[in-house]
Amino acid sequence: MAELPELRSDRLPERPPESRQLFDRAHTYGVAHDLERMRTGLAPPPRTPRIRTRSRHRRGGPVAAARRWFASGDRRPVDVWHRIRCRTGHHDVRGGQQMQLGSRFVLVERRCVWCDAEAPL
Ligand SMILES: [Zn+2]
């Protein structure tokens, strides 16, 4: 009678010991880390102070109001220039060609790009 084969479990090596963490305590982060420190009697480290990225003198004031008024509309010199050009009838007419939008071809209307006036025939 042949011998029974050797059982596989006998040949397996011993289970390695659990990997230990540094200083034999579980690692914690954030608030849990602060709590662990407080349990051991240490105060949590001081937080980084908030850094203000905008100066508090920036908002408010007549200069800021003027800048806001200037920036919130078409009051730049170039806008004045185009307005004068359109008032005198020199429209910047573009369009009239086909354009592909996705799978469709559409016709772009011939209009003034600044005042949206229709092109003269
Ligand atoms: Zn125009």
Q: How far is the CA of 113 from the centre of ligand 1 (A)?
A: 7
Average pLDDT estimate for 19-24 = 78
Q: How far is the CA of 15 from the centre of ligand 1 (A)?
A: 84
Q: How far is the CA of 109 from the centre of ligand 1 (A)?
A: 14
Cβ-Cβ contacts under 8 Å for 100 (sequence gap 6 or more): 106
Candidates 77, 74, 76, 68; CA nearest to 115 is 74
Q: How far is the CA of 39 from the centre of ligand 1 (A)?
A: 74
H/E run at residue 45: none
Q: Secondary structure of 50-77 in the HEC alphabet? A: CCCCCCCCCCCCHHHHHHHHHHCCCCCH
Q: How far is the CA of 96 from the centre of ligand 1 (A)?
A: 16
**What are 50-79's pLDDT values in tens digits?**
888 777 666 778 888 898 888 888 888 999
65: left (phi over 0), alpha (psi -120 to 50) or beta: alpha
Average pLDDT estimate for 80-106 = 93
